[in-house]
Structure 1
Amino acid sequence: MVTINKPVTLHWLRHSYATHLLESGTDLRYIQELLGHNSSKTTEIYTHVSTKNIQQIKSPFDDL
């Protein structure tokens, strides 16, 4: 059995949900719609958390 030592809030669950969607390749505009954000700037806070996608970016110079 897994024990969670931190308090879990709705905000924390929304944040985890959005981060997992982003890391699995879901477009930021879809995440914005799912979370009900009016501004893309609000949704963009989740992009700083996701390092998995950044590591998968291939530079055009890699093919030289």
Structure 2
Amino acid sequence: MQFPSYSHFGIWSAKNASFVCLEPWCGVADLESHNKKLEEKEGVITLAPQKTWTAFWNITLKA
């Protein structure tokens, strides 16, 4: 799995689920102590007006 555009990688599952999620993330949930300012959120990507951001990830499966 390759995810060069992402700063974090999440591995999670719902309680009693029969699956595990593997997900590239651009940030994480706030800590309880976070100041709740979006611009200071860990992993937040800030864009200037009229600018774009493109991200990609790739999965290679081998038999």
Give the TM-score, by structure 2 length.
0.24
Greater share of strand residues, 1 or 2?
Answer: 2
Give the TM-score, by structure 1 length.
0.23
Point out which structure has higher relative CO (alpha carbons under 8 A, 6+ apart): 2
